Amino acid sequence: MSKSWFITGTDTSVGKTIASCALLQALSAKRHRVSGYKPVASGCDLMPEGWRNSDALSLQANSSLSLTYGEVNPVAFKEPTSPHIAAVMEDRQIDIQQLSDGLDRLSQKSDVVIIEGAGGWYTPLNERECLSDWVIKEKLNVILVVGIKLGCINHALLTQRVLMSENIHLSGWIANSIEARNTHYNAYIDTLKSRLNAPLIGEIPHLSGKQKSSPLAQYIYLNHLV
């Protein structure tokens, strides 16, 4: 049976994709058969092959297995907004069983599946369900990406409290430096280390432009994870 980790963030735009790609690269380097999975994506560009989400394409490119786009991202919407809003705009309905079916297919061929969420923990999928409900249903372990900036300590601790209240295991957290300069970076990291009940499994420095396509495995501490 494959292992699966769900990658959530303290907010949107905190670096879930780059953290997921770093994990995929690190696991691939250890000879694991790894697949990236973006079950729901909002915000796509029209390409010759059809509508494509840039985050999902990154996961596809960094998977060690050859996967079709549909395997990586079964539910995609054009509009870059919350999935439940994008679904209404396209007169579609998100069925969490479709997300489970996609995960099952990848699990059958992979040692590890890295699943990138959308937004933060409570991202709505429809009138009743959030993406977190699917994570709970699948009993997935979680890795938290913390975008290191003012307010990140509060957001990280709130997310941890919610995960604990819902009996979700926090396997680890990754610090992503989303600001070019952060005078208090070390103080933030030390505080999070002392207050999060999970190991720090990666520190990604501030990367811009072409740097984001550079090798990322070096920033992940796999000894804390596998």
Catalytic residues: 38
Nearest of 200, 213, 226 to residue 148 by alpha carbon: 200
| Pairing relationship of beta strands 34-37 and 45-47 according to DSSP bridges | unpaired
DSSP secondary structure code for residue 206 in this structure? P
Taking a C-beta distance cutoff of 8 angstroms, is the pair 130, 124 a contact?
Answer: yes
Coil, strand or helix at 87: helix
The neighbour count for residue 95, using CB atoms within 10 Å, is 13
| Pairing relationship of beta strands 50-52 and 45-47 according to DSSP bridges | antiparallel
Nearest of 133, 159, 61 to residue 174 by alpha carbon: 159
Kindly give the residue spans of alpha helices, DSSP state H, lying in the chain. Answer: 16-29, 54-62, 69-72, 83-89, 96-109, 131-138, 152-165, 185-195
Place of tokens 């002392």: 194
